[in-house]
Amino acid sequence: MSNNTSVNSRWSSNFAYILAATGAAVGLGNIWKFPYIMGENGGGAFVLVYLLCILFIGIPVMMAEVYIGKQGRSTPANAVAKVAQQNGRSKNWAFIGAMGVLAGFLVLSFYIVIAGWAVAYVFKSVAGDISAAGGDAQQIGELFSALTSDPKQLLAWSTLVIVGTVVVLANGVTKGLERVVSWLMPALFVLLAVIMLYAAVTGDFAAAVNFMFSPDFSKLTINGVLMALGHAFFTLSLSSGIMMIYGAYLPEGTSIARTSIYIAIADTVVALMAGLAIYPIVFANGIEPSAGPGLLFVSLPIAFGTMPLGGIVSTMFFTMVVVAAFTSALALLESSAAYLVERRGLRRKVAAIVAGSGVWLLSLGTIGSFAGWEFAQINAGAMGHNFFEILDYLTANILLPLGGLFITIFVGWVIQADSLKHHMGLGTKTFQMFSKSVKFISPIAIAVVFLNAIGWLSI
């Protein structure tokens, strides 16, 4: 085994950790998915439920994962096994960590394809294709379908994303990941703030604020509640091995509770800012808020085509999406790469390349799904009709919630409460709140989502 086990690495400061973990959390989920699912679910009431889910479930689950990582100081499966053994329990609980790494790997295989669309849109914006369409819905629609149905373009852009990810990770945790993230995250915040200001000035900001913050509960369905909970998991990058491996790099003396709260707040602020950047433009241009997944890649570019400085704003906007997606891709590959270093004794560089190649190979399934390749068209009924849809369903609706359920059961019921309280350094009151969440609130809520998602329960 090589000496260079990544788990010996430590973030160089608490701030570096917060930036990296926020980078992992903030991604396509915040900028692409959150605005359109909010739109589909009626706005304000959905936002409120989502915020409650982050607060009462997301933060405690994040704390639990970071705790496992830090306590085990290993890659996720090993970390869970070590914590189990420290508490006199079976090391078979390791499967929770393994499931997370697997989920992260699977998510990344389609994440790089969607991130690749955003990269393509940066180039299209710079080349003037978006402004040239002048807000013509049909032209923009054709631009999008020409991209998503062309395997060569899809392959080129997603390969670029994964190669970039591998190059950064090959340089290690502090010299690669941390350094890149500490440049990209401030850039992301600046871009987002500028775009939000632009939207406030040129768009219908009041309508957006009203849509997002005045809850109308008659518009919220039970399915919307379940989507809000599922999204809280996705957006905080929970049950994907990420928070465990980032926790393994935590310097001694870092407060798990405080940093988790900061990360969750930063992630939520970005999601809300993304909403406040997109919706004023949407409302000012008479676009339906319920436009669905095409909101970012079709509706918004239509609006950009008619707005002052549209080409520049479009370039900035999609650059921001790329940055957000890239820092999440780094995190998603990190747990697989670290696993190969720790368990297979590979050198860091080799591990990054091997993990990246695996993801790239698997991404062909998603590319084939969009490009209409025969092998990727699989009919799995409610789970989807192609490789991508099935993978998306399998991860978002099965692996992530199920992983979350096991994590809360493990931390809430399997390990000893006094050692947990001691190692987390929580006060009695805070610990009681944490404990209530991981023992009762989270597992019950997650079980409801999960059973609903797989159709055993339909509320």
Residues that bind ligand PHE (CB under 6 A): 25, 27-30, 104, 107, 234-235, 237, 240, 242, 328, 332
Report, in Å, the least distance between residue 25 CB and ligand PHE.
5
Mapped onto helix, strand or coil, the DSSP state of residue 341 is: helix
Q: Which is nearer to ligand PHE, 141 or 358 (CB)?
A: 358
Among the listed residues 60, 79, 65, 100, the one whose alpha carbon sits nearest the alpha carbon of residue 334: 100
Of all residues in the shown chain, the one whose CB is closest to ligand PHE is 29
CB 270 within 8 A of CB 69: no
In sequence order, the 6+-apart residues with CB closer than 8 A to the CB of 401 are 230, 233, 239, 446, 449, 450, 453
Shorter beta-carbon distance to ligand PHE: residue 401 or 443:
401
CB of 82 to ligand PHE, least distance (A): 23
Q: Which is nearer to ligand PHE, 105 or 205 (CB)?
A: 105
How far apart CA 129 and CA 139 sit, in angstroms, is 10
What per-residue string of b and e applies to 340-356 under the rule 16 or more CB within 10 Å gives b?
bbbeeebebbbbbbbbb
Nearer to ligand PHE, 116 or 311 (CB): 116
Selection from 111, 120, 110, 107 nearest residue 157 by Cα: 120
Smaller CB distance to ligand PHE: residue 323 or 332? 332
Positive or negative, the Cα torsion across 132, 293, 30, 386? negative
Least Å distance, CB 384 to ligand PHE, is: 18
Smallest distance from ligand PHE to CB 24, Å: 6
Comparing CA positions, the residue from 318, 308, 309 lying closest to residue 278 is 318
End-to-end CA distance of the chain: 51
Rounded to a whole number of angstroms, the minimum distance from the CB of residue 100 to ligand PHE is 9
Q: Give min distance, CB of 304 to ligand PHE, in A.
A: 22
C-alpha atoms less than 13 angstroms from C-alpha of 238 in its C-beta half-sphere: 37
Query: Would you say 243 and 69 are in contact if contact means Cβ atoms under 8 Å apart?
Result: yes
Smallest distance from the beta carbon of 334 to ligand PHE, in angstroms? 10
Which of 125/328 has CB closer to ligand PHE?
328
Name which of 27 and 443 has its Cβ closer to ligand PHE: 27
107 or 277: whose CB is closer to ligand PHE? Answer: 107
- Minimum Å gap between C-beta 341 and ligand PHE is 20
